[in-house]
Amino acid sequence: MKKIAIITGSAGGIGLIIAKKFLANGYSVVFSDINKEGLEKAINEEKQKGFDCIGIKCDVTKEEEIKNLISQAMEHYGRIDVLINNAGLQHVANIEDFPTDKFEFMIKIMLTAAFMGTKYVFPIMKNQKFGRIINMASINGVIGFAGKSAYNSAKHGLIGLTKVVALEGATYGITANAICPGYVDTPLVRGQMADLAKTRGVSVEKVLDEVLFPLIPQKTLIDINDIAELALFVASEHAKNITGQSMIIDGGYTVQ
């Protein structure tokens, strides 16, 4: 029987790579994103390769859209094995300059959305006696970073939510885990480094060497494919007794 995975924020970045990994490993995938054009492009590319996937536009800050995502996925595939709450964004500002509505919005995207997704998928997974909830947290969910009050609060909260989901799903074959990446080698992170390089009038490599790598014992960005592999394992049968955990993949950043 083919397993079905829903991935939020999968039109680009980490979500897209996870979706491709799941497809390549026999899953049917429900792509979902606020970006309708990106979503269509992503599923068309995968369909052309012969993979089984659908795209459902969903803004995870809207409860009705999350409900619709779960019910449409269910209507199409008849079961949901994996939900990956991945959609997220960043805003950096000191607390006194951080707009309160921006703070609330970020909590909504990265914490409330995961709660709502879990809420609507839980009855289905309980009924199946199988489910995997994977929450994309961050090392910002484990340690503090100045300037990231909303992001840190959301990701710390997400790790707390993961533990409760693990407990409530424990006797139903449902696991819940958080993946906590450090600095991932994505266009977004490369772009931030390029901006910094421009401001300083130096190369991107120099910025990496002087700004980021002194903080990372392994002196490397995290390979996006390794995150997808970890998600695939957490979703697998062999990870059935791993639940409520925060899996840090950060090149040693947080062990110092």
DSSP for 116-136, please give it. HHHHHHHHHHHHHT-EEEEEE
Q: Is 151 a catalytic residue?
A: yes
* SS3 track for 181-221: ECCECCHHHHHHHHHHHHHHCCCHHHHHHHHHHHHCCCCCC
Sole window of 3-11, 47-55, 70-78, 207-215 interacting with ligand NAD (rule: CB under 6 A): 3-11
Binding mask 200-239 for ligand NAD (x = CB under 6 A): ----------------------------------------
114 binds ligand NAD (CB under 6 A): no
Closest CA to 178 of 158, 192, 164, 193: 158
User: Contact 23/47 with Cβ under 8 angstroms?
Assistant: no
Pick the catalytic residue: 27, 77, 120, 151?
151
Of the pair 125, 222, the CB lying nearest ligand NAD is at 222
**Ranges within 176-195 binding ligand NAD (CB under 6 A):** 181, 183-184, 186, 188-189
Closest CA to 125 of 171, 76, 87, 162: 171
138 binds ligand NAD (CB under 6 A): yes
- The CA-atom distances, in angstroms, between 15 and each of 79, 90, 182, 240 are 21, 15, 15, 22
Sole window of 5-13, 91-99, 119-127, 196-204 interacting with ligand NAD (rule: CB under 6 A): 5-13
Q: SS3 for 81? A: coil
Question: CA 115, 152, 236: angle at the middle one, nearest 5?
Answer: 50
Q: Which of 4, 7, 8, 231 binds ligand NAD (CB under 6 A)?
A: 8
Of the pair 81, 250, the CB lying nearest ligand NAD is at 250
How far apart CA 193 and CA 206 sit, in angstroms, is: 10
We find the least distance from the C-beta atom of residue 138 to ligand NAD, in angstroms, to be 4
**Ranges within 24-63 binding ligand NAD (CB under 6 A):** 33-35, 38, 58-61
We find the least distance from the C-beta atom of residue 171 to ligand NAD, in angstroms, to be 29
Terminal C-alpha separation, the chain? 44
68 binds ligand NAD (CB under 6 A): no
Which residues are catalytic, by number?
151
Question: Which residues here bind ligand NAD, judged by CB under 6 A?
Answer: 8-9, 11-15, 33-35, 38, 58-61, 86-89, 109-110, 136, 138, 181, 183-184, 186, 188-189
